Amino acid sequence: MTISEVSVTERMFTFDHEQVVFCQDAATGLKSIIAIHNTTLGPAVGGTRMWAYANENEALTDVLRLSRGMTYKNALAGLNIGGGKAVIIGDARTQKSEALMRRFGKFVDGLGGKYITAEDVGISTKDMELVKMETDSVVGLPEYYGGGGDPSPVTAYGVFMGIKASVKELTGSDSLTGKKVLVQGVGHVGEYLVEHLTKEGAEVTIADIYEDRVKAVTSRYGVKAVSTEDVYKQKMDIYSPCALGATVNDDTLSQLTCSVICGAANNQLKDEKIHGALVREKGIIYAPDYLVNAGGIINCFWEMKGYNRQAALAQAEGIYNTALNIFKKSSEENIPTYLAANKLAEARIEAIGKINSKL
């Protein structure tokens, strides 16, 4: 049986999703899916991604994985919010419009606060302004709109802390001087990460599907660039995927020569169980993506509380110690790092769920 032959409810059952909403509007061309995974810790919070998916099945797979990842990410970061995510099917560069974003906002509003959206791949803070016109269930707004602005700097800082912790686990020192790092994807988060890495003395190589981004970042930071087809052939100490997920798979693991995998992309392991174990067998330190890329949601959480950029950065800095704790648990229990992180997140959700059941 192929994945397309499995019903939506069966796929929801696999990862225990609470709700999946399919949205369409012919007038604006909107085709969207909103997935709410778990609201034990609070309303589901997670960004909206706009991507030219090949088909609806591919979009559904992505939103189910992403929303589950948000539950674990929010729990592990110590935030009192649950996990959700949305995807809009379409090319963000050519198909986005004010009407489309506002219609999406109406669908979000129809969920009555159970899902709070923000920006993700293909979506900007300006887009969130349009969504805000139709619903209060939105974060990731520009500073002049009362929000926290672009969360990318905080996300990138958290990934940077994750890289330093990974190198610390590997070598006993978190210095990145001379370390060869390949950053795959240099959008907002990727570029900020490149800035941190180059300032730290790392030797950075980048790759991106958009040539204009490659030219801008190589010019600004003096880094090298390779084609996206040649990424996995490069000699590197650290592989940092900062675009789409599932780049750690059978094919890439047979080519990668890195000692550390740590990046901003969601769902980097194509199959958690299979590739999480393979990464460990190859002696590669994998910093779980939903741990190290939590800076963005931390930024949004502080926006919900009353925005404080320094507080958001300070909490993102804590990713360093959490990563070291996960590496320690992985070693002590002889389990992959993704599983160690999952256990910590699940333990918090279960504990808080018991408290809430007694209120």
* Residues recognised as catalytic: 85
Count of alpha carbons within 13 angstroms of residue 129, beta-carbon side: 12
If you compute the radius of gyration of the chain from its CA atoms, what whole number of angstroms results?
19
Name the residue among 69, 120, 65, 70 with its Cα closest to residue 92: 120
- The rounded distance, in Å, linking the Cα atoms of 206 and 204 is 7
- The rounded distance, in Å, linking the Cα atoms of 288 and 357 is 30
Locate the DSSP E strands across the chain. Answer: 19-25, 30-38, 44-51, 82-89, 115-119, 180-184, 203-207, 224-225, 238-241, 260-261, 285-286
**In which residue are the tokens 């958690």 written?**
272
- The rounded distance, in Å, linking the Cα atoms of 333 and 278 is 17
Sign of CA dihedral 141, 145, 147, 151: positive
